[in-house]
Structure 1
Amino acid sequence: RMLTRTPSVVAQVFLLLSIVLVIAIAVIQINQQQILSPGLKYGIVLDAGSSRTTVYVYEWPAEKENDTGVVSQTFKCNVKGPGISSYESNPGALAKPFDDCLNKVKERIPVNLHKNTSVYLGATAGMRLLRLQNETAANEVLASIQNYFRAQPFEFRGAQIITGPEEGVYGWITANYLMGNFLERNLWRTWVHPYGKETVGALDLGGASTQISFIPEDSQENFNSTLQVKLYGYSYNVYTHSFQCYGRDEAEKRLLALLLQ
């Protein structure tokens, strides 16, 4: 009897060992995936316009596509109150309006990633005008912002006044990125450069300035007003021009002044 039962016992033992081995391999693969998986990265951008400040949270896979991240916006919050240039006489009052949005941002980003999440603030035409009128006041506003963000758990990368051409190029990148002119998924769900797709121009009407940006037919002819950007392995020569004081709010001020004459 023992001899007749031995083959079945051996078969059962081998079956059990096989199941254990399969489970072990699966667990090891899952653990390796968790260790090797690049996960998500987060970034916070504050768009400090002339009339208001908006906070954006972006996320992207740590693995980049040709040295550029595939970014998606996950959260947006409008800071209460006017633009930061309006605090020229009381820079210390800037902190409180930021608190509400920053507290919401902290909830959106995993706590363990706070210290590795970069924060950038870019101020546009409102601050460019203030710097022209009162450079000391503009520096005090930026210093107040820097002090506030250095006390936050995120990696603060600075608050700066961007130039008109920089603002124009950023608007051009945003418009074309959202239209899928830089990248698209193919049938195999991998990211590729769209075949035969052309970029579009961008006209950005802000509060204190207006920017126009596009790729000219002859970039050499407009060399002094052309900026080169590299995205997903491709280079673009973008013509951009900023019209200071030709934004919506500044145009309204000039119209009111004209009517009062």
Structure 2
Amino acid sequence: MGRLGISCLFPASWHFSISPVGCPRILNTNLRQIVVISILAAAVSLLYFSVVIIRNKYGRLSRDKKFQRYLARVTDIEATDTNNPNVNYGIVVDCGSSGSRIFVYCWPRHNGNPHDLLDIRQMRDKNRKPVVMKIKPGISEFATSPEKVSDYISPLLNFAAEHVPRAKHKETPLYILCTAGMRVLPESQQKAILEDLLTDIPVHFDFLFSDSHAEVISGKQEGWYIGLHFEI
């Protein structure tokens, strides 16, 4: 009987030699075909899984490196230099359904190039922690007592005023964005709450705060703001 040799473009250890001695001649052809196909299938499977294992290994390494770079970028952030006169500030109060949270942002003076965006970041305190504070309940809880809204939100604004340099207060824009909880209220109650904010806040704080800086935003606007916040 002859021997059937299979030598593909595989390593030397993957060379196969088959001798169908003892099998009836009538089965030789079919047997050889079955054996060849089986061996080729096994070889291809082995090669495939080897590639998958290597790809997963290096893919994990790549993801790990990216994650480490992300951690380094997030954690290795210096405290905001509040003595730098070229740093500008902005304040956003996110009035949600369960509570209100204030965020203080900062950015250096723009370089004047119309193609460059502002380098906006969250302000960091002396311990390098983001300047953020939250209070409860949600602002919509004052639907029947809108005259109390300014007192409710004052702790957040006092917190921001302590971190933003006093000399920068008058040029620091303040935005109060009301979301889901306020959207379900009747328009008359929304208006009463916003009017109380617009009337009382300028009396007690020097931030740049105009009528257009307090509003009830749509779900689409809210999603856009959340995405922007996490990019920052």
User: Which bin holds the TM-score, normalised by the shorter protein?
Assistant: 0.5 to 0.7
1:77 is matched with which residue? 133
For 1:148 and 1:77, locate their aligned partners in 2 and report how far apart those are by CA, in whole Å.
21
For the pair 1:147 / 2:203, whether they are aligned, the reply is no
- Whether the 8 Å CA contact 1:54–1:76 is kept in 2: the answer is yes
SS of 2:106 mapped into structure 1: strand
2:80 is matched with which residue? none
Equivalent residues in 2 for 1:121-140, closer than 5 Å: 121-130=176-185, 134-140=186-192
Q: Structure 2 unaligned runs (5+)?
A: 1-83, 124-130
Equivalent residues in 2 for 1:173-212, closer than 5 Å: 173-175=228-230, 177-178=231-232
1:53 is matched with which residue? 100
Matched AA of 1:47 = D
For 1:78 and 1:48, locate their aligned partners in 2 and report how far apart those are by CA, in whole Å.
10
Q: Which structure: larger Rg?
A: 2
2:27 is matched with which residue? none
Deviation at 1:83, TM superposition (A): 1.1
Deviation at 1:38, TM superposition (A): 6.9
1:41 is matched with which residue? 88
For 1:122 and 1:161, locate their aligned partners in 2 and report how far apart those are by CA, in whole Å.
6
Deviation at 1:163, TM superposition (A): 1.0
Is the alpha carbon distance of 1:92 and 1:60 closer, same or farther for their aligned partners in structure 2, counting shifts above 3 Å? same
SS of 1:153 mapped into structure 2: coil
| Structure whose residues are more often helix by fraction | 2
Matched AA of 1:50 = S
Deviation at 1:60, TM superposition (A): 0.5
Matched AA of 2:97 = S
For 2:158 and 2:180, locate their aligned partners in 1 and report how far apart those are by CA, in whole Å.
27
Is the alpha carbon distance of 1:91 and 1:72 closer, same or farther for their aligned partners in structure 2, counting shifts above 3 Å? same
Matched AA of 1:77 = M
Matched AA of 1:57 = V
Deviation at 1:67, TM superposition (A): 4.4
Deviation at 1:145, TM superposition (A): 1.3
Q: Structure 1 unaligned runs (5+)?
A: 1-36, 179-261
- Whether the 8 Å CA contact 1:115–1:154 is kept in 2: the answer is yes
TM value normalised by structure 2:
0.55
1:96 is matched with which residue? 151
Is the alpha carbon distance of 1:116 and 1:89 closer, same or farther for their aligned partners in structure 2, counting shifts above 3 Å? same
TM value normalised by structure 1:
0.49
- Whether the 8 Å CA contact 1:48–1:83 is kept in 2: the answer is yes
* Fraction of identical pairs, as percent: 32
Matched AA of 1:88 = A
Deviation at 1:69, TM superposition (A): 1.4
SS of 1:156 mapped into structure 2: coil
SS of 1:155 mapped into structure 2: coil
For 2:209 and 2:163, locate their aligned partners in 1 and report how far apart those are by CA, in whole Å.
17
